[in-house]
Amino acid sequence: MTTYALRRILQTVPILFIISILLFLMVRSAPGGPLTAARRNPNISKEQIEVIEEQLGLNDPLPVQYGRWLGDMLKGDMGDSIKFRRPVSEMIGERIPNTLVLVGASFFVTLLLAIPIGIFSARKPYSPFDYVMTTVTFIGQAIPVYWLGLGLIVVFYITLKNPFTGDPLFPVGGMNSRGQEGNLLDTLWHLVLPVTALSLGWFAWYSRFLRSSMMDVLHEDYVRTARAKGLGERGVYFKHALRNAILPLVTLIALDLPSLFAGALFVETIFSWPGMGRLFWDAAKGRDYPVLLGVVMITAVLIIVCNILADLAYGWLNPQVKYD
């Protein structure tokens, strides 16, 4: 497995190189630019704008700009933000833990609910519980994450109030209340609505997928053989059926991680969560090229790493999978 992991890591080098070219061209080909607001300012002359463009290297041909940016990236230097005048690596370093907290909590809640509900629905198909969960999952899949986030704000922040204090039932801005920085319970309280908005759709999708996969596996010969040997239902479901039924779910999760991070962008913007999604949105509005490229490259690396981990998990879940 070690050899396979090293081979997969080496294979990511040309992939990241191609991704860097495509992302650089896409970001730079977007309409507007970091000096759009300055051009509209009557107090800034055209000569001054040309001086700023020369200082930022925006007048150079795109291949020259890409080569300079790639060389700095290989040295660990993502450049400086045009808007905030701060190192991009420093800004991302401040934001990426917050995004990982939000995505990690949402992912944990999703699997914590989806796996047992999917198993129970497969054990009791077409039962009242299965019909109720089918309805809930259809609703969860149909509601866009941004609409759900706004709906949660209307219900739990604007409409419903704490009966004792009159304050909103749940907070909707930032990671902590003022003066409560570093308070874990306060952070968890701020996570309730963003995690709900981000995880509902994925919970619905994964629980139905696992239910379908479990029902297929339960009709296999090795499951009937396990029952014939006298193995209890718990052992049949968790030792034999689940271990094989969950393999397609691992692949699905690895492929869905980009969408999970994309959903975090909407959730972070709606709930003012200080993560990479919010940073990307602020940078996109101002065409802050160094920040945009830094965020999308970090996201691409995270997605590739998660796919490698998913492939390695196959060997742990299914001993028949060989990497040699």
Q: What are the pLDDT digits (tens) for 180-238?
A: 777 788 888 889 999 998 888 888 888 888 888 888 887 777 777 777 777 777 777 77
Residue 323 has pLDDT above 60, yes or no: no
**What's the mean pLDDT when you consider all of the chain?**
81
Q: Can you say how many angstroms the Cα of residue 123 is from the centroid of all Cα atoms in its chain?
A: 31
Query: What's the confidence (pLDDT) of residue 320?
Result: 60
Confidence grade of residue 99 (pLDDT, cut at 50, 70, 90): confident
Nearest to 136 by CA among 150, 118, 151, 152: 118
- What count of other Cβ atoms lies within 10 Å of the Cβ of residue 62? 11
Residue 317 has pLDDT above 70, yes or no: no
pTM of the predicted model over 0.85: no
Q: What are the pLDDT digits (tens) for 105-160?
A: 988 999 899 888 888 888 888 888 888 888 888 888 788 888 888 899 999 888 88
Query: What's the confidence (pLDDT) of residue 231?
Result: 73
Distances (CA, A) of 56 to 48, 67, 216, 290: 12, 15, 59, 11
What is the CATH code for 2-35+92-317? Answer: 1.10.3720.10
Q: Are 23 and 296 in contact, with CB atoms under 8 Å apart?
A: yes
Q: Which residues contact 68 (CB under 8 A, 6 or more apart)?
A: 57, 60
Confidence grade of residue 1 (pLDDT, cut at 50, 70, 90): low
Query: What's the confidence (pLDDT) of residue 195?
Result: 92
Segments making up each domain of the chain, as ranges:
2-35+92-317
Q: Are 294 and 17 in contact, with CB atoms under 8 Å apart?
A: no
Quick one: tokens of 297?
């490259």
Query: What's the confidence (pLDDT) of residue 220?
Result: 76
Please report, as a single letter, which amino acid is at residue 198: L
Distances (CA, A) of 61 to 32, 82, 124, 214: 17, 19, 64, 56
Distances (CA, A) of 269 to 24, 133, 170, 172, 300: 24, 30, 17, 11, 20
